[in-house]
Amino acid sequence: MAQLRSFIVLLLLVVFFDDHVSYGEAAFSIADYGAKSDGRSDSTKSLLAAWEAACGSAGSATMHVPAGDFLVGQATFAGPCSSGKITVQIDGTLVSPSDLGGAGDWLLFHHVEGVSVYGGTVDGRGSSLWACKAAGRSCAAGASSLTFRNSKDITISGLTSTDSELYHIVIDGCDGVTVQNVKITAPGNSPNTDGIHVQGSSHVTITGAGIKTGDDCISVGPGTTNLWIEQVACGPGHGISIGSLGKGYDEEGVENVTVNTAVFTGTENGLRIKTWGRPSQAFVKGVVFEHAVMQNVQNPIIIDQNYCPGDRGCPDQSSGVKISGVAYNDIHGSSASEVAVNFDCSASNPCTGIGLQDIKLTYGNTAAESSCKHADGTASGFVVPPSCL
């Protein structure tokens, strides 16, 4: 009986600590394909060989990256796969070469379904590219660290991404994506290092993210619908941004986005919608920003429909992006500028259906101010100031 009890306890412990691997599941370690954890030997072929084996499995499969540092160049994990459930278990660190050049994507999954990435670290080693850009030299385009494109039913959980050359995580053309408990870090002066970028995708959930970077913590591009963002700590960075939108005339819109329970610390922006000042058929509608804390944020709440970098291609034009049905509820904290709420909407397509409720933002020891152009809506509760709309 004692032996039976010991066996049951051992079985329960195994089940508890091994919840990402199912019994009878095929497992493929990159070490078995020759990968070396010294951080210097090129393990790209080993990683791709393990993927091919997992992808070709008849049933569930795991691709395993053991502890250690593995140098990996540009790698594409292509589907569709025979296996409908693939777990990528990373216990070590995937390290990029110091310069990926014009790669575009470092680690790219495309046309895959039922892929889950758990744990580990991806190190983009982007500092040399940032230094090149800062010096004003002719630089390579750089690469995003982890991209899922044209894929379905994806999970990214417990991943750490550091020092990406460009965007850290990209979700492009996907349906059904969960990003949870990720940690993203890059210096505050690192250019174009967005934490998570979502575009052309639907039913995406981002929860429990800590993001410190040199650009948007989360950026939302054209064609995004049904996006849920919750429990995000952002800063340094440029905040959570919808846009920029409207660069192209036939661009898709953004619809049904919720940002719930976010903390912004020392960021350039908090909750931002940004569109180009040029004609477009794009739109933004059905957006809820709620339960956010601002800590010394330069622009806590901002809609900018006159985005025109370098005054090229759009000076003196009016944005065609139609913004409607945007609610701001329970936003409080401190602004680093006197104007904490800034709605600079399109003259030809004014913002409509803007709702402000319980907005409590201070500048120094006094209530912050607001600025409104071409915006219409309602305000209730203690708003800064209540006459903005």
From 238, 304, 344, 374, the catalytic residue: 238
DSSP-assigned states of every residue in 19-84? TTS-TT-EEEEGGGGT--TEEEEE-HHHHHHHHHHHHT-SS-EEEEE-SSEEE---EEEE---S-S
**Contact between residue 258 and residue 225 where contact means Cβ atoms under 8 Å apart:** no
Which member of 172, 215, 216, 344 is catalytic?
215
238 is catalytic: yes
- Report d(CA 225, CA 203) in Å as an integer: 7
State the DSSP code for 377: E
Active site residue 215: yes
Identity of the residue numbered 127: S
Q: Is residue 248 exposed (0-12), middle (13-18) or buried (19+ Cβ within 10 Å)?
A: middle
Alpha helix (H) ranges present in the chain?
2-17, 44-55, 127-134
- Partner residues linked to 154 by β-bridges: 177
CA distances 86 to 76, 252, 344, 350, Å, are 15, 31, 46, 47
CA atoms within 13 A on the CB side of 107: 24
Cβ–Cβ < 8 Å for 322, 347: no
Cα 88 to Cα 308: distance, rounded to the nearest angstrom: 41
Q: Give the catalytic positions in this structure.
A: 215, 238
